[in-house]
Amino acid sequence: MELQAILGKKQNQTQAFLQNGTRVPVSVINVSGNFVAQVKTKDKEGYNAVQIAFGNKKKPKNPIKGHLKKAGIQSTPRFFRELRTKEPVEIELGKALSALDILKVGDIVDVTGVSKGKGFAGTVKRYNFKGGPRTHGQSDRERARGSLGQTTTPGRVYKGKRMAGRMGHGKVTVKNLEIIGVTDDGVVLINGLVPGGVNSMVVIKKVGENKKFVPLYKEEVANEDVSSQSASADVQESMDAQTPDTSSLSDSSVPAVEEKVEASQEPAVDSVESEQAPTAQDGESKTEVKEGEENANS
């Protein structure tokens, strides 16, 4: 594919470690949701370009709806950007673009976005002016801008003179950043900081490749964890194979013990019953004693 750029949303800024031990700042960019909205050619529009749609808008206007209907896009994107190409690009309208189609690990990119707004600022903060000295009674001139004119000729202030004014909220491009991670779900990890706040839109443009790329340290750690887990599983299986199976011995010994206990208890029960149960001779003797007592009384 001839496209060398893609749109994304800045999600977070964090840090990571490379395999050589270097700690680097990382910008997390989500590039899922890119669609081809229009393809422009030099014969019809006068230049070759591909219009990319990105984001989501709740209340689109009717002209935008008609434009998206031609491309066959069901959702309503929020941002539209044109990517110039040298030659006409043959690509299907409404096609979803993924990060793996354009970017890969080790690419050098330029990231363009709108910087954070700082409000009204003076020349010291806005342009890093030195300020005036505190000597000779000028203690209140530390953050002053100084002279603006050019003596007598010309008697005016040049256009573009660096003065106090609104700072930030402008288009900024940070060049020569490095891609250190690309996932299947459309998350790109960039080595470096990109302009803009969280959830702001940025344009990632590929400009080259780094031949001395150093991957992230977490990839190596993940491989080591997998190998250590497999090794521990093998050790556990070998230990289980060496331990004897005592289930058969215990099962065979239990019935024998129960039989011995029953055999030892049966005579005791019979003797007790024999002692407590009355016999027929005892009953006859008792009746004879009673009859003798009655005859004597009479």
Q: What is the pLDDT of residues 133-185, one digit of tens each?
A: 889 888 888 999 998 988 888 889 999 999 999 999 999 999 999 999 999 89
Q: Are 10 and 79 in contact (CB under 8 A)?
A: no
Token pair 């990571």 in the structure block, residue:
16
Mean pLDDT computed over every residue of the chain: 81
Tell me whether residue 16 is in a domain: no
191 located within any domain: no
Give pLDDT, residue 187: 94
Q: What pLDDT score does 81 carry?
A: 92
Paired tokens of 237: 């299986």
For 47, the 3-state DSSP assignment is coil
Answer whether residue 130 is part of any domain.
yes
Residue in this structure with the two tokens 């590929």, named with its chain if needed: 206
Region of residue 142 (phi > 0: left; psi between -120 and 50: alpha; otherwise: beta): alpha
Bond from prior residue into 88 cis (ω within 30 degrees of 0): no
Cα–Cα nearest to 190, from 3, 16, 42, 7: 16
40-51 pLDDT per residue, tens: 999 999 999 999
Domain limits for position 237: 215-245
Name the percent of the chain lying above pLDDT 90: 47
Residues 20-58 as b or e (16 or more Cβ within 10 Å = b): eeeebebbbbbbbbbbbbbbbeeeeeeebbbbbbbbeee
Q: What is the per-residue pLDDT for 295?
A: 55
Whether 132 is in a domain gets the answer yes
* 136 lies in some domain: yes
- At residue 58, the pLDDT reads 86
Total-model pTM: 0.68
* Any domain includes 86: no
Residue 287 placed within a domain: no
Q: What integer pLDDT is reported at residue 261 of this predicted model?
A: 43
* The domain boundary residue, chosen from 245, 260, 291: 245
Domain count, the chain: 2
**pLDDT per residue as tens digits for the range 73-88:** 888 889 999 999 888 8
Indicate whether 59 belongs to any domain: no
Q: Using the 3D structure, point to which of 201, 223, 245 is the last residue of a domain.
A: 245
User: How would residue 69 be classed by pLDDT, with cut points 50, 70 and 90?
Assistant: confident
